[in-house]
Structures are given as C-alpha cells and as structure tokens.
Structure 1
Amino acid sequence: MKIFRLFKKPKIDGIHWVIVDWCKQAKERSVGGNHLKKIIHMYGEYPFKVETYSEEKIKALKRMGVFVEDKTLGQEIPKDAWLIPPTYEILGRIQITKRVG
C-alpha cells in the first residue's frame, strides 16, 4: 500500500495540499527535527518527492486505495516519522482526516 503524508497549504490557485511521498530513501534517513517548511522548500529533491494535489485528486487517490494522512502546515515532524510505518498501514485502513483550525 502506498503511503502519503498530506499537509495543508495556503490556498493558491486552487491547490490546497502538499503531499510528501514515502519513498525508500526517506524511510532509511531520519528527518530529525526538520521543519515541514524546509522539506517543502526542497520540493522534490532527494530524499523526498513532494507533489501538490487538489481536493478532487485527493478523493481520486482515496478511491484507488491510497492512504492519506492529514497534517498541518508547519508542524514538526517526529524524528522517526520516516523510519517507522504507522499502525494503520499494517491494518490497511483508508481514510482522509481533516483538522479544523
């Protein structure tokens, strides 16, 4: 199952989300205390693949069985975020959560 981390982004040209793709290199390298904005600033450079998706594309991903986890822009990423898959990956749950505020 493909796992994405979904981050809210200021609404610009209809784009609401930034998705950081979990890739092999990212899982092997600890992000440490890096701030999300620094990761977004890298925009696709090693070891991250960063893409933007509209609400419609997010819904399409859900229909395809892709798990999407909602995170808030600017949130600190846990040190082990890229090393330990979340429990729900094993359970195979598919859900999109939206945080208000």
Structure 2
Amino acid sequence: MNAMQEELFLELRQTQIEIEQSLTNKQKQDWLTSILEAELSDVKSAIQKLKDGNFGECEISGELLPEDLLKIIPTIKWIKDSGDLGRYYKKPISTSYL
C-alpha cells in the first residue's frame, strides 16, 4: 500500500466502525437502515480491495481509476460512476473523469 492508500484504509476502517455502531444503535428499521447497509457493504468491499492489492481498478474494465477521484469517493467501483458525480457533487469535478 502506498501512503494515499494507507490513509484511505484508515478512513474506511473508521467509517466502517461508525456505520456498524449506527446500525447497532438503531432501535427500528427505517429508510436509513438500507442506505447504511449498502454503504457498509461498499466500505467493506473497498477495504478488501486495499488488502488484496487491487484497489483503484475499475470493476468492469480493469483500468485504473484516477487517484484524485478515489480520494473523493474511495468506494467507487467503476469509471462509469464518475459520470453521475457532476449531478450530485457540490464541488467542481474535473471533466477528465466525466
């Protein structure tokens, strides 16, 4: 793992812990439960990719995802998702990702 990946690993582990605590503390299932469970699954997947050494690879094409994009969304799975970011992300995103 390089320095950026180590930093993301620690951030993802902390996020995993926080989501798991939120799910444990919820007294009833609601609309947020499914969102938290989906996010937890994505976080665990990204952590496993870091451990396996294939973090940052597009799951469809195998091409490397831009490092700047991974810093913004470390759970991104494929390059086609970057096309949707312009609609949802508040900060300007480089058009090279879109």
Normalising to structure 1: TM-score of the pair? Answer: 0.28
- Bigger fraction of residues in strand: 1
- Bigger fraction of residues in helix: 2
Larger Rg: 2
Larger RCO, structures 1/2 (Cα 8 Å, 6+ apart): 1
